[in-house]
Structure 1
Amino acid sequence: MNKTIRKIHLWLGLTCGLIASFSGLTGSLYVWQPEISSFLNPDLLQVEDFGDLDEGTIMETTASLLAIHGDSINSIFLPYREQQTISIKFDNGETSYHHPVTRAFLGGKSASILFFENLLVLHRTLGIPTYGKYIVGTSAILFFLFLLTSGIYIWTTSYRNNLKEGFTIKLNGKKKKINFDLHKAFGAYFMVPLLIMAFSGSYFTYNSYYKSGLSLFDSKRDSTGMDIQRPFMPGNSLRLEDHLLSGNEAYALRAIHFPKNTVAPYRFRYIKERFITSGLRRTKEVELDAKGHVTVVSDYRTDPNSNRMATQFYPIHIGEMAGTIGRILVFVSGLVPLLMFLTGLNIYRNKKRRKTKKGK
């Protein structure tokens, strides 16, 4: 049994461990994307005295931009996280940034913004179309279910009678001993954060299965209020601008996704806070159809527990749930799989060399 578990740990470490190393490294870099993007793109993303702007002004500017650019818009993104300006993604793929008060054109996407967008794609898909996300998601599940748990088993059986030794790194020893100590100690120190990151990371590939499992936590309370439609405003044309100016008492509008055809609805995504904050993530999603009817698709205040819990996977995965301390922990933890892979590879090579020498 012990030998089998060690073999599982070895071969998963050499395969899933490599993918986890890449995902961890790219994820660590992405943790500080808001701060780095803001620093490198102050003219595109930052606005002086942004904190003094009221929601009404932002909505009026958004409505004005919609009226100007009309049917050429694919999506529009309002101030959120590091972005204090309004950006418009057009059907031709181009993006423009605008001042939230004056509507002034500020420029298009910079190289650093594109870099982080591509970094996120690599983190989630390895840059492989269609199947990449399944490789990453499945690797995260195997990393969570077998690689980390087998590591826990090996560490526990080896050091249960001497826990201090299991956490100790003796830097004055031989290189092989230091390498081994780094592997077993960092594995123990970061076991819980890595378990959480792997479990939450696979959600983005297999979210439907996660939600099915989370439905066990749903109560039998009535949630039919989410499905109620209300007429928007009378008239023959779509009152998109009026919907914006009507305001929302509990949420800030984050994004509008335009319909891809004449029968598809507009999709409005709302967030409780425009800035990065610790704690729970509260969201709302609304659809507006061509006849001017509004449907509340989801609302944190009325959603079943499964939806509320699913909404938290992103802030948990990236560490924002626990504020700055959580983000620092995720940043450091994301580098650990690479360390574990390299030290584990050295342990494997050293064992192979010993076996080769004994065989001679």
Structure 2
Amino acid sequence: MKPFSKIVKKIHLYLGLSCGILASISGLTGSMYVWQPEITTALNPKLLKVNTVNNISEEALLKTSLTLYESQKDTVAKIFLPYREQQTISIVYNNGQTLYYHPKNGMVLGKKSASISFFEDLLNIHRTLGIPKVGKYIVGGSAILFFFFLLTSGLFLWLKKYKSNFKKGIKIKWKRNKKRFNYDVHKTLGILFFLPLLVMAFSGGYFTYNTYYKEGFKFADGSTINTKPKKKKKVGTTLDILDLLENPDKKYSLRAIYFPKDPNEVYQFRYIKDRFIVPGLRKTKELKLNQNGKVINATSFDSHPISEQIAAQMYPIHIGEIAGLLGRILVFISGFVPIILFITGLRSYYFRMQR
């Protein structure tokens, strides 16, 4: 074997044995989280479902939110309007408690359940391993290594051996000794799921290193013809915060309000084009106001440069929602592949040590 091939093989081996276990944890937790909307809704119908939600207007949703806020404003930290699996309104209070309310009449439906908390913890493990501060860098770093080196080195080794016989490269011979069968499973799953894993690893790194990703995406801005941005709320203008709750945005639906906890923080209004899960592009809008009602930041998908529009798609791409149900199924299945590759790679290393 040529020296370069030996180097690639060692890179693939040692990265597989190290960051392969992190990729396995991310893959398994990610697969579980793909179906979080359906599972939490099934387990919490009283908290999350409303039979007539499609008949409730945006004006009614904002009116209920405003009424709830005005009745207990000093204790409110965040308000979440219907979004994704949640068809109700939830309020996070300054003491950390979360309560759910009917979106039309404002009746209390209950507090956050154990199953909802479980999926929040699962997402935290997926993104940070549950390790404060440094966990996200461990996960993000392993995703980048997985993308740039582990997958590409595996592709190189596969092409070197099977580029002239593709059929043999994806075939598993079931009636073989355990060593050859183990190798067949590893190389076949590796090549068949190469593209899904590549996309998942690349988009996964975004959540840790989004600043660098956005800088990289800016290459797309230079390749497009500059057009006049659509009108938006100008930075520096003053808005009545309560007025935003009384008058719906014409294009976007309000999905969350974050209230300041101290004098240095701001009000954040986050909007979404589609309240519930749909395939296609994710279009958002955000408005930040200081505590005097002065607009300090205003962004929307309609006026974003191409780089920002691409960045906004990292989440639906990562979880498969951009491609609808089939995309989510593909991500769900792909999430189990890293643990299989890790186990078969570990077994290959064991067989090699035995020899």
Shorter-chain TM band: over 0.9
SS in 1 for 2:218: helix
Q: What is the CA–CA distance in structure 1 between the aligned matches of 2:255 and 2:233, rounded to whole Å?
A: 21
SS in 1 for 2:268: strand
- 2:50 is aligned with 1:47: yes
Contact kept in structure 2, 1:226 and 1:295, CA below 8 Å: no
From 67, 90, 95, give the equivalent of 1:87: 90
SS in 1 for 2:257: strand
Superposed CA offset, 1:11-50 (max 9, x none): 0000011100000000000000000000000000001121
Contact kept in structure 2, 1:80 and 1:274, CA below 8 Å: yes
Deviation at 1:291, TM superposition (A): 2.4
SS in 2 for 1:256: strand
SS in 2 for 1:188: helix
Aligned twin of 2:177: 174
Q: What amino acid does structure 2 have at the position aligned with 1:74?
A: A
Deviation at 1:78, TM superposition (A): 0.4
Q: What is the CA–CA distance in structure 2 between the aligned matches of 1:134 and 1:38, rounded to whole Å?
A: 31
Superposed CA offset, 1:170-226 (max 9, x none): 112222222111100000100000000000000000000001111122255555965
Q: What is the CA–CA distance in structure 1 between the aligned matches of 2:306 and 2:24, rounded to whole Å?
A: 33
Q: What amino acid does structure 1 have at the position aligned with 2:268?
A: R
Superposed CA offset, 1:100-149 (max 9, x none): 01111111110100000000000000111100000000000000000000
Deviation at 1:262, TM superposition (A): 2.6
- 2:193 is aligned with 1:187: no
Aligned twin of 1:216: 219
SS in 1 for 2:110: strand
Aligned twin of 1:348: 349
Q: What is the CA–CA distance in structure 2 between the aligned matches of 1:353 and 1:223, rounded to whole Å?
A: 65
Superposed CA offset, 1:240-261 (max 9, x none): 3221111100000010000122
Contact kept in structure 2, 1:226 and 1:296, CA below 8 Å: no
Aligned twin of 1:319: 320
Q: TM-score, normalised by structure 2?
A: 0.95
Aligned twin of 1:202: 205
Q: What are the within-5 Å matches in structure 2 for residues 222-241 of structure 1?
A: 223=229, 228-229=234-235, 231-232=237-238, 239-241=240-242
- Percent of counterpart pairs with the same letter? 52
Aligned twin of 2:272: 271
Aligned twin of 1:130: 133
Q: What is the CA–CA distance in structure 2 between the aligned matches of 1:313 and 1:36, rounded to whole Å?
A: 23
SS in 1 for 2:291: coil
Aligned twin of 1:143: 146
Superposed CA offset, 1:308-337 (max 9, x none): 110000000000000000000000001000
SS in 2 for 1:297: strand
SS in 1 for 2:148: helix
After superposing the two structures, state which structure 1 stretch, 287-296 or 250-259, moved more: 287-296
Superposed CA offset, 1:256-280 (max 9, x none): 0001223432100000000101000
Contact kept in structure 1, 2:284 and 2:300, CA below 8 Å: yes
Contact kept in structure 1, 2:80 and 2:255, CA below 8 Å: yes
SS in 2 for 1:218: helix
Q: What is the CA–CA distance in structure 1 between the aligned matches of 2:58 and 2:255, rounded to whole Å?
A: 11
Structure 2 unaligned residues grouped into runs of 5+: none
Aligned twin of 1:117: 120
Q: TM-score, normalised by structure 1?
A: 0.94
Q: What is the CA–CA distance in structure 2 between the aligned matches of 1:227 and 1:42, rounded to whole Å?
A: 38
Aligned twin of 1:357: none
From 60, 71, 75, give the equivalent of 1:72: 75
Contact kept in structure 1, 2:230 and 2:303, CA below 8 Å: no
Aligned twin of 1:106: 109
Superposed CA offset, 1:41-85 (max 9, x none): 000000112111111110100000110111211111000000000
From 159, 163, 169, give the equivalent of 1:160: 163
The alignment of Structure 1 onto Structure 2 pairs a total of residues equal to 349
- 2:257 is aligned with 1:256: yes
- 2:66 is aligned with 1:63: yes
Q: What is the CA–CA distance in structure 1 between the aligned matches of 2:272 and 2:87, rounded to whole Å?
A: 14
SS in 2 for 1:301: helix
From 16, 20, 33, give the equivalent of 2:19: 16
Q: What amino acid does structure 1 have at the position aligned with 2:278?
A: T
Structure 1 unaligned residues grouped into runs of 5+: 234-238, 355-360
